[in-house]
Amino acid sequence: MTTIFERVQTALSGLGVPVKNGQIDGELPETYIVWQIISAPVEQEADNKLISKLHTVQVNIWSRKGATAYPDVESAMTAAGFAYESGRDLVYSEDSKHSGYGMDFNFLEER
């Protein structure tokens, strides 16, 4: 059984930029992606057994080249079975000179 962590990493790994769960330590690349699980509540259960849960994953894209350099995260995630929920601009980092965009995706895991 593929874990949600493997599923997200696999979906994003073909975009040609570094991808990491959590944060990237050290020297930041020109463009990169970080992601995290925001929540994973039980969606359905029966007889004290988990039937399904809904994972919400936040994916943040960062680039010194601005929005035109962002890889197509939405297509990669939806192709892997995730549903797009929302997106938003992230605060520009004066320190690293990266602009960012965050997106939330949902994945229904059935057992």
Evaluate whether 35 touches 21 at the Cβ level (below 8 Å): yes
At 21-37, the pLDDT tens digits run 999 989 999 999 999 99
What does the alpha-carbon distance between residue 46 and residue 72 come to, in Å, rounded to a whole number? Answer: 38
Structural domains in the chain, CATH included, are 4-110 (3.30.2000.10)
Predicted TM-score (pTM) of the model is: 0.90
Q: Given pLDDT bands bounded at 50, 70 and 90, which one contains residue 46?
A: confident
- 78 CA to centre of own chain: 11
What does the alpha-carbon distance between residue 89 and residue 67 come to, in Å, rounded to a whole number? Answer: 10
Q: What are the two backbone dihedrals, phi and then psi, of residue 79, each rounded to the nearest 5 degrees?
A: -65, -25
pLDDT at 49 over 90: no
Sign of CA dihedral 84, 85, 88, 90: negative
